[in-house]
């Protein structure tokens, strides 16, 4: 029986800015995304992350917020109450964009770390559109990818401990689109990275045939 043909994965780097730790009581205030590349049976083909992007600022959905969380992004909740996109419209536009840029492939959300961004993104998609273009598990965590390749415990991983050549040269600005583009470059570098070079053995030693 011939092997089932699997669609390629279209990796989409996503970053969100929110005013608290969990969606519902707190709000996702901005959403940025950039196409990072495509993975198929022949390997990974990176994309220019500035070519296909999405960005929206959203109206808050509650009066609650954590000042420290809000300060990270520098977004103004008062302005967003009048100028921010209605969440249902913004998430519908995002879903349509994901499907458009993923034609012929399966979209996969990528983040660093993905857990926070995915939690808000998936909750908002289900709450305001009723479905997710990524399904319920189409999510790749770059932090886990690095830990696995580097052979490190997950909690030992931070961007500051990574080899510099893996990191994007772009600044991490806490603007959702800027950071999505930056993380798309990190993903491409991580996928291409073979892992740390094996330490040499003692002088005159070489691996045996087994």
Known catalytic residues?
Answer: 174
DSSP 139: E
Distance CA 82, CA 59 (A): 7
Distance CA 102, CA 186 (A): 20
What is the rounded CA–CA span in Å between residue 146 and residue 152?
8
How does 181-203 read in b/e, with b if 16+ C-beta sit within 10 Å? bbbbbbbbbbbebeeeeeeeeee
What does the DSSP assignment read for 15-83? Answer: EEEESSSSBTTB-EEEEEEEEEEEEETTEEEE--TTTSEEEEEB--SSS---HHHHHHHT--HHHHHHH
């Amino acid at each position: 029986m011939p092997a089932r043909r699997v669609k390629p994965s279209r990796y989409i780097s996503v970053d969100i800015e929110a005013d608290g730790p969990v969606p519902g009581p707190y709000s996702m205030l901005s959403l940025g995304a950039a196409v990072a590349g495509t993975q198929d049976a022949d390997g990974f083909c990176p994309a220019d992350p500035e070519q296909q992007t999405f960005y929206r600022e959203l109206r808050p959905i509650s009066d609650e917020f954590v000042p420290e969380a809000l300060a990270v992004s520098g977004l103004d909740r008062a302005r967003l109450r009048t100028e921010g996109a209605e969440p249902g419209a913004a998430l519908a536009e995002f879903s349509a964009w994901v499907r458009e840029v993923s034609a012929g492939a399966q979209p996969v959300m990528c983040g660093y770390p993905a857990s926070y961004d995915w939690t808000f993104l998936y909750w908002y998609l289900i709450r305001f559109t009723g479905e997710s273009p990524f399904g319920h598990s189409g999510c790749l965590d770059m932090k886990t990818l690095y830990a696995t390749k580097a052979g490190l415990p997950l909690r030992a991983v931070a961007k500051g401990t990574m080899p510099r050549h893996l990191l994007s040269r772009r600044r991490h600005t806490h603007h959702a689109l800027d950071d999505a583009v930056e993380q798309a470059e990190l993903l491409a570098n991580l996928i291409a990275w073979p892992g740390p070079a094996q330490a040499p053995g003692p002088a005159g030693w070489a691996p045996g045939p087994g």
